[in-house]
């Protein structure tokens, strides 16, 4: 099989790739993966990664929908090396290319009424037959063409496709073939003067000097037709690699049915950009081993189109969540400080958080909890007790740890011990607890569990001694007092 990037003809420096999304209002994770593969390929080969917004659908291409794409890519640091190209600004150029193909004799004018053609197409489909344009207008005599032009009949430009099969070598799928019988003379420019996707994409890629096209499988069968257009324009044909679909756990195409598909949602949910980059980078691509964790630099170093897996990859949300936990546990406070403060403000505005934490305290909390959470926002949901007294206690925990004979007195005694600790550290706290446990002939865990429940309201969390240290002596003593009152009730 042809090697995608490193044929003798390629000087790596001249490699130019692009991501060409159509704004829809959402940036699908599949699109992000396509962008990422192109970006990695460019970085790996020393080439350029470009972005072209295919904004010819006026209704969908609102400034907001375009911004979603730009923001999503910027968040991941997958940003273009040259100014963004907007397809809508290039319509005159697309038309010019269509006229050029017409002039060269490889295209022809089609005066057929598009509504009638659509009706014929539908009729054929309804009886399960393929419809192929019957080349009515290819057979027109020059005088007939003149007559129609003089009468002002609108015309489209079609490209004359050869009768044989079309093939090309794909970087992922090897040889791809469309049978000649399945090809029809397709439209480049519509009767209303608007270019089709097929034309615009080729003209833009040619003008942008794109050498390699990595994109979704849905464009696989468009490719032979696009290659015809390159040839008709006399332009070099890029290499193509088509990336298989992303699937849900039921092995069907990933869609909203399976859960969220938009990158913005993952961002808002508290996934880190490093997580998404790692996860999407290994979704349908493998460096040849079964690692789950990989950095941006490693992706760049190892990325090669030959590692793209030629069948659909399953989007495993459990794994994504786990991975986010891995990254969170390695992230230092400064990198998440701003986001945490935003989450805190949100929690305060929602009434969950009584007051905004001070930064030095937040940093301590972060270091204590980061290896135990999956999302930044968890801090202000499941770990609110780090900022304020618990308002309730886990039911099962209460039955297990608060109903033991004498527990209220033990907690009270411990609280008194705590008050007299002069250096409030995890070590001194641990010593105090263990000393009492020994004296009472109890195991340390018989004290640790009720203490945890008393100060946090829950039965799981960070190491108790470290937790108490971070909470501070005053809060701990107060919380034990509240819990003891509760136990006595």
Annotated catalytic residues are 256
**The token pair that represents 105 in the structure block:** 């004799």
Other CB atoms closer than 10 Å to residue 296's CB: what's the count? Answer: 19
Nearer to ligand GLU among residue 215 and residue 479 (C-beta): 215
Which span sits near ligand GLU by CB under 6 A: 16-24, 69-77, 408-416, 433-441?
A: 16-24
Q: Which of residues 31-70 bind ligand GLU (CB under 6 A)?
A: 54
Residues 193/196/197/199 CA torsion (nearest 10 deg) = -90
Nearer to ligand GLU among residue 52 and residue 109 (C-beta): 52
| Residue 286 CB-density burial (10 A; 0-12 exposed, 13-18 middle, 19+ buried) | middle
Nearer to ligand GLU among residue 49 and residue 343 (C-beta): 49
Sheet holding 16-19, edge to edge: 16-19, 48-53, 85-86
Q: How far is the CB of 79 from ligand GLU (least distance, A)?
A: 18
Site membership for ligand GLU, residue 158 (CB under 6 A)? no
Q: How far is the CB of 386 from ligand GLU (least distance, A)?
A: 44
Site membership for ligand GLU, residue 253 (CB under 6 A)? no
Nearer to ligand GLU among residue 63 and residue 105 (C-beta): 63
Q: How many residues bind ligand GLU (CB under 6 A)?
A: 7
Given 17, 20, 68, 373, the residue binding ligand GLU (CB under 6 A): 20
How far is it, in rounded angstroms, from Cα 94 to Cα 371? Answer: 54
Q: How far is the CB of 456 from ligand GLU (least distance, A)?
A: 48
**The token pair that represents 232 in the structure block:** 């008709």
Q: How far is the CB of 181 from ligand GLU (least distance, A)?
A: 25
Nearer to ligand GLU among residue 23 and residue 270 (C-beta): 23
Given 4, 5, 17, 21, the residue binding ligand GLU (CB under 6 A): 21
Nearer to ligand GLU among residue 201 and residue 203 (C-beta): 201
Site membership for ligand GLU, residue 263 (CB under 6 A)? no
Site membership for ligand GLU, residue 237 (CB under 6 A)? no
Which of 240, 312, 314, 279 is CA-nearest to residue 33? Answer: 279
How far is it, in rounded angstroms, from Cα 279 to Cα 99? Answer: 45
Which span sits near ligand GLU by CB under 6 A: 20-28, 270-278, 329-337, 344-352?
A: 20-28
**The token pair that represents 154 in the structure block:** 């609108």
Tokens 């829950």 locate to: 458
Q: Which of residues 192-231 bind ligand GLU (CB under 6 A)?
A: 201, 215, 219
Q: Do 34 and 243 form a contact (C-beta atoms < 8 A)?
A: yes
The string of DSSP codes covering 195-227 is BPHHHHHHHHHHHTT--EEEEEGGGGGGHHHHH
Sheet holding 107-110, edge to edge: 107-110, 156-159, 187-189
How far is it, in rounded angstroms, from Cα 374 to Cα 327? Answer: 9
The strand pairing partners of 240, in sequence order, are 170, 213
Which span sits near ligand GLU by CB under 6 A: 14-22, 38-46, 236-244, 287-295?
A: 14-22
How far is it, in rounded angstroms, from Cα 325 to Cα 275? Answer: 9
Q: How do beta strands 246-247 and 313-314 pair?
A: parallel
Site membership for ligand GLU, residue 452 (CB under 6 A)? no
Site membership for ligand GLU, residue 30 (CB under 6 A)? no
Q: How far is the CB of 213 from ligand GLU (least distance, A)?
A: 6
Q: How far is the CB of 198 from ligand GLU (least distance, A)?
A: 10
Q: Which residues are at the interface with ligand GLU (CB under 6 A)?
A: 20-22, 54, 201, 215, 219
């Amino acid at each position: 099989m042809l090697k995608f990037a490193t044929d003798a003809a390629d000087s790596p420096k001249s490699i130019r790739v692009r991501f060409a999304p159509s704004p829809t209002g959402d940036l699908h994770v599949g699109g992000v993966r396509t962008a990422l593969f192109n970006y990695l390929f460019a970085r790996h080969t020393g080439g350029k990664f470009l972005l072209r917004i295919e904004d010819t659908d006026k209704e969908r291409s609102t400034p907001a929908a375009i911004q979603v794409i730009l923001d999503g890519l910027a968040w991941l640091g997958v940003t273009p090396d040259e100014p963004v190209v907007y397809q809508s600004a290039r319509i005159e150029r697309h038309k010019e290319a269509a006229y050029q193909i017409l002039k060269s004799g490889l295209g022809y004018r089609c005066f057929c009424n598009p509504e009638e053609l659509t009706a014929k197409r539908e009729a054929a489909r309804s009886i399960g037959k393929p419809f192929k344009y019957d080349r009515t207008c290819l057979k027109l005599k020059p005088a007939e063409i003149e007559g129609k032009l003089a009468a002002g009949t609108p015309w489209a430009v079609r490209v004359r496709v050869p009768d044989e099969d079309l093939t090309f070598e794909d970087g992922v799928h090897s040889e791809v073939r469309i049978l000649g019988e399945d090809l029809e003379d397709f439209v480049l420019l519509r009767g209303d003067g608007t270019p089709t996707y097929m034309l615009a994409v080729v003209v833009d890629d040619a003008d942008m000097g794109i050498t390699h096209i990595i994109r979704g499988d849905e464009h696989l069968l468009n490719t032979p037709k696009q290659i015809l257009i390159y040839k008709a324009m006399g332009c070099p044909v890029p290499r193509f690699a088509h990336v298989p679909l992303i699937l849900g756990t039921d092995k069907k195409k990933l869609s909203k049915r399976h859960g969220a598909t938009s990158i913005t949602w993952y961002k808002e949910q508290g996934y880190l950009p490093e997580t998404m980059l790692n996860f999407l980078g290994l979704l349908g691509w493998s460096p040849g081993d079964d690692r789950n964790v990989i950095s941006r630099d490693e992706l760049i170093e190892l990325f090669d189109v030959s590692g793209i897996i030629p069948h659909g990859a399953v989007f495993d949300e459990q794994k994504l969540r786990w991975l986010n936990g891995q990254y969170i546990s390695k992230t230092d406070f400064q990198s998440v400080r701003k986001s945490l403060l935003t989450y805190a403000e949100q929690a305060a505005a929602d009434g969950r958080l009584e007051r905004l934490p001070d930064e030095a305290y937040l940093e301590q909390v972060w270091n204590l909890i980061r290896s135990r959470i999956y999302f930044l926002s968890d801090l202000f949901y499941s770990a609110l007790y780090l900022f304020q007294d618990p308002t309730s206690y886990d039911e099962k925990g209460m039955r297990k740890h608060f109903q033991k004979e004498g527990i209220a007195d033990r907690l009270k005694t411990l609280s008194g011990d705590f008050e007299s600790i002069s250096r409030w550290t995890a070590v001194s706290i641990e010593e105090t607890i263990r000393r009492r446990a020994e004296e009472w002939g109890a195991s340390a865990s018989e004290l640790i569990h009720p203490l945890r429940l008393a100060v946090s309201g829950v039965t799981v969390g960070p190491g108790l001694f470290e937790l108490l240290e971070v909470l501070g002596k005053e809060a701990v003593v107060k919380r034990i007092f509240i819990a003891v009152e509760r136990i006595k009730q």
